[in-house]
Amino acid sequence: MVNQSQVKECLKNQIGIRKSADTNIPVPSAELQNPKSGLFLNSVHALISVDNIWSMMTAAGSIKRENGVTDTMILNEYLTNISNDAIIKLSNRIYVEKQLNTYSKSVFPDTKLYDSPASVHDTLEKQGRFVGFLIVGTAADISLAIKRFSTQFENENPGLKFYLYKDGVKDPISVLTVDCVKEYYPQWHEVDNVMLPPSESYFFGYYEDDLTGRALNKRISFKKPPCSCEPIEYELWKKWNRNLNIRAMYVDSNSIKSDRTLWGPGNEIYVDDYSWGLNFVFSANCDITSIFCSNKHLLVDALATQTGIMILEEMANSSRDNQQKNTLSQKAFYALDNKENNATGLLSQLEQKIKVINLDFGSLNTACLPCQNSGIVFGTIY
C-alpha cells in the first residue's frame, strides 16, 4: 500500500514555474518560484508558462469568484491542484510499472485484539470522561488498519459517535456514527478501513456523556502477554504484538474540551485491565510510502514531465475562441505526441524516464522485501 497523502507531502514544492515578465499576469507563489529540486516547468516545454496557463484559464472570459479572491489566488490554486494530481498520477503509474505490489505484503490478516467478551456483571460507572485506547504502529513501513470494532454496553445506543484523533492534530480525523442496538452482548461494526500509518499516535474512543447506560468491561492487560492457560488470547496477542502498541486510556472530564477537539498534551491517563466495552479487528500491511520519499531525487524529473503533460493536455482540450488560442491548442497536441515531425513528444519522454528509475529499497523493512528463492545448491559436506 501507499499513503498518497504522505507522498504528496514528500513531493510537494519540488517543481516550480517562473513568473511572467508581464506585470499584468498573476504571480506564482514564493514556493513555486523557488522549487526545492531547482526544476521549472518552463524547461519541460516552451509552451508551459504562466502567460499561456493564464490565457487558457481566461479563454472563456473573466473568471467568476467570491469576494476577496484575487487572480493570484486563482492561479496558485490551479498550480497547486495540478501539482498534487501529477504526484498521485505518477506514483500510481510507478507502483504499477515497477510492480511494487510485490512489496505491499500482508504482515498479519484480520486479527481480533482479544477473543472472549466481558462479563455482564462487570460494568463501568460513567464519569464524564473520554475513554478509549492509544494505538501506535510500532514497526517501520508497516501500516495498521482498523477493519471492525465491537461495542458491549448494557443499553441500546443508536447513533453513538466514536472519535479518532491523531496526536498533535486539533480536530478529529474521523468521527464514526454507529447504531449500538445489542444490550449486554458484543456487536461488531464494519468500518471503511481506517488506516493508521506507522510511528504515529492515535486515540480511538467515545465520550461517556454520549453513552446511555454503562459499558461492560473486559479485564484484560495489554502491557503483558496473556496467560498460556488462555491459548486463544495468547495466539491473538502473538499475531499483533510485534507491530502494535495499544494502551487503555481516558481523559478526565476537567481536561476534555466542549467542542470535542483534542485535549491538551499529557492529559491522557493510562490504565490497565480496561476495555471500555470495545474490541477491535486490526490488519497490518507493508507500507512502501517511505520508498517514494527516500527516492524523491530520482522522481523529480519524471514529476516535472508528468505535471507538464497534464497542463498541456488541458491546453490542448480547452475551448478556444480565437485563432491565436487555436494555434496554442494545436501546439500543445504536437508537444504531447509529435508524431508528424518524428520528434519525441512528452508522453514518450515520460515513459522513458519512468523506465530508467531504479528505486533503492535498502531502507525498507526487511519484512516487506520479496522472498528470494535461492534454489538448490549441490556440494559436499566434507
**Structure confidence at residue 365 (pLDDT):** 86
3-state SS track over the chain: CCCHHHHHHHHCCCEECCCCCCCCCCCCCHHHHCCCCCEEHHHCCCCCCHHHHHHHHCCCCCCCCCCCCCHHHHHHHHHHHHHHHHHHHHHHHHHHHCCHHHCCCEEEEEEECCCCCCCCCCEECCCCCEEEEEEEECCCCEEEEEEEEEECECCCEEEEEEEEEECCCCCCCEEEEEEECCECCCEEEEEEEEEECCCCEEEEEEEHHHCCCCEECCCCCCCCCCCCCCHHHHHHHHHHCCCEEEEEEEECCCCCCCCCCCCCCCCEEEECCCCCCEEEEEEEEECCHHHHHHCHHHHHHHHHHHHHHHHHHHHHHCCCCCHHHHHHHHHHHHHHHCCCCCCCCHHHHHHHHHHCCCCCCCCCCHHHCCCCCCCCCCCCCC
CA 37 from centre of chain: 23
> pLDDT tens per residue, the chain (382 residues)?
788 888 999 999 999 999 999 999 999 999 999 999 999 999 999 999 999 999 988 886 788 889 999 999 999 999 999 999 999 999 999 999 988 888 878 899 999 999 999 999 999 999 999 999 999 998 888 999 999 999 999 999 999 999 999 999 999 999 999 999 999 999 999 998 788 988 899 999 999 999 999 999 999 999 888 888 889 999 999 999 989 999 999 999 999 999 999 999 999 999 999 999 999 999 999 988 888 999 999 999 999 999 999 999 998 887 555 555 567 788 888 888 876 566 678 999 999 999 999 988 888 888 888 765 444 444 444 3
pLDDT at residue 105, as a whole number: 85
Could you give all domains of the chain from N- to C-terminal order, each with its CATH number? 4-102+290-368 (no CATH), 106-287 (2.60.120)
Please tell me the predicted confidence (pLDDT) of residue 335: 85
Distance CA 114, CA 276 (A): 13
pLDDT score for 364:
86
